Amino acid sequence: MRILDTFSRSTPAGATIALLTPVALLGLGVATANSDYTTAGGIAALTVLAAALLALFLLRPGGRPIAVAALMGFALVALPGAVLATQIRHFRGEHTELVLTAGRNGSGDPACVLRRTDGKPLAHAVVRGCTPPAEPGQPELGLPELYLVDPAGWVDPVAAADDDLKDTAYIAPFALAAIVWLWIRTVLGATRRTGRPATPAGPDPDAAPDPGATDHVPGA
């Protein structure tokens, strides 16, 4: 297969960068889908990408491959978490009525807090970037709305209809796979070995015969 031939022509270091970098970034994307780990996962992903690009630059200084790899790399840092969150909400999310209330966040500061109308606990209930217009303890700030809630509590609830996520949920994984493929092809192409192995030289048919060489006849 052509891809196996491409791997065989790449240096071991190049093949390692091509394969391990997207695996690491996709794994960290699982963490960034959870808002509790978004910052730490993002920093770790940027560190992995910076190390991979530095190693690639040492193997192939300058040139368009570095720019293309950097573009694909930043996409692999930004997209996996969002793609996974969309998948979870679409395939595992449950339509749940939530109401916005005034409460406090983990630091004790006033914050907008979502609450289930059925009284069950809700993960990621604090709405980021929202300041309540009332004092904490206000029972309700609005009417109940329908949210998509992850029953396992890994991703934040969102006020979105299931149909709005359908196209994204099916298309996004293919787009992410295409980016991974472009990263692998770019890195392998940039780190392929140059030159051809030398072949042993055979006898020159145009060379003059050696006068001192005689045929050995058995029994002579």
What is residue 93's DSSP assignment? Answer: -
Q: Which of 160, 103, 154, 96 is nearest to 126 (CA)?
A: 103
**If DSSP states are collapsed to H, E and C, what string results for 108-167?**
CCEEEEEEECCCCCCCCCECCCCCCCCCCCCCCCCCCEEEEECCCCCCCCECCCHHHHHH
Q: Per residue in 116-140, is it b (16+ CB within 10 Å) or e — as a string?
A: beeeeebbbbbbeeeebeeeeeeee
Q: Which of 188, 123, 180 is nearest to 157 (CA)?
A: 123
Residue 91 and residue 88: Cα distance in Å, rounded?
5
Determine contact, residues 160/89, Cβ cutoff 8 Å.
yes
Residue 56 and residue 46: Cα distance in Å, rounded?
15
Residue 189 and residue 17: Cα distance in Å, rounded?
12
Q: How confident is the model at residue 198, as a pLDDT? A: 41
From first CA to last CA, the distance across the chain in angstroms is 57
pTM of the model: 0.74
Q: What is the mean pLDDT of each run of 10 residues along the chain (220 residues)?
A: 56 89 94 92 96 90 84 94 90 89 72 86 83 58 83 87 69 93 90 55 52 50
Q: How confident is the model at residue 197, as a pLDDT? A: 43
